[in-house]
Amino acid sequence: MKKRKKSGHIARTRGEQIGYAIIMLVLGLFAFSTIYPVWHVVMYSISDSKLSMSGGFFFWPRGFSLKSYKMVFQTSQIWIAYRNSILVTFVGTVMSVGLSAITAYPLSRKRLHGRNFLSMVVFFTMLFSGGMIPLYLQVARLGLLDTFWSMILPTCMSAYNMFILRNFMQGVPDSLEESARIDGANDFIILVRIILPLCTPSLAAIAMFYGVHYWNNYMNCLLYTNSTGLQVLPLYLRTVLNSAAANALSASSDLSSLGEAASVLTEETVKMTVVAVSVIPIILVYPYLQRFYTKGITVGAVKG
């Protein structure tokens, strides 16, 4: 029998305590395996290059130093890549969320004739695609090669995210729409002023999906652009990681002004610094949108 404590809480049995301890241990190990790689990169990047060469776990920086950040941020190309990544992420996310919304709204309304067929057509694109070469030819024929829009338009809408938003919209009562129509509202007004405000959790969730996708995506830039002026941060990071870091940086900036700072940095330290610089912005944004994630995905996934 369980004994009740004076405070009103039920005391756990020995078996429950052991089970609780095992669960906490497993969750702790899972959290550690998720957080530590990012922590390792950051701690390595702010450590002294000579001391960090010994390897091992990096729980704290070894000989605190910001020389690698000074070196990286004095390169002109990383600022160009930062600018392009921010623009692509912002413009692409806004466009993608807007396209998803105006596609999901009619497909969520029962009065639309043939909506099931149209939904199947959209769903078909989740299973099959033309492939990389047909898509490249299409982008070329549209005159988008080596342009800013080539990094956005080829992947500007995800059918998966659209269906999440559509299922969420199906949960909005039809009576709200009927009342708005009585007051003279058209479909656009109903979508903007009634439907979308009620879909804030789902909109935030898919905005997070789109934002992370655009921030991490380098394939569009790699395939459709040749100019270094259009290079995004993930592609710049790929260039650094796949080549000699010192050569990649020296090609884009004059390191002579750094004096001994550049000479004491190892290639691995520069790589870790570039990785840290590329992931920190999305890490800062994610906690704000994460509170909408569970509700937006759960409600959008179980209805319809």
181 in a domain, yes or no?
Answer: yes
CATH number at residue 165: 1.10.3720.10
How far, CA to CA in Å, does 69 sit from each of 65, 95, 108, 247, 272?
A: 9, 33, 49, 16, 10
196 and 73 fall within a common domain? yes
Whether the per-residue pLDDT at 25 is higher than 90: the answer is yes
132 and 144 fall within a common domain? yes
125 and 245 fall within a common domain? yes
Whether the per-residue pLDDT at 94 is higher than 90: the answer is yes
Whether the per-residue pLDDT at 248 is higher than 60: the answer is no
41 and 107 fall within a common domain? no
Calpha distance 41→39 (Å, rounded): 5
pTM: 0.75
Q: Which domain does 39 fall in, by range?
A: 14-65
113 and 204 fall within a common domain? yes
Calpha distance 64→44 (Å, rounded): 10
Domain total for the chain?
2
138 and 89 fall within a common domain? yes
Q: How confident is the model at residue 301 (pLDDT cuts 50, 70, 90)?
A: very low
- What pLDDT is recorded for position 187? 82
115 in a domain, yes or no?
Answer: yes
**Ramachandran region, residue 274 (left: φ > 0; alpha: ψ -120 to 50; beta: rest):** alpha
Domain boundary among 65, 80, 103: 65
Helix-strand-coil split of the chain, %, nearest 5? 75, 0, 25
Instruction: Give the three-state DSSP class for 10.
Output: strand
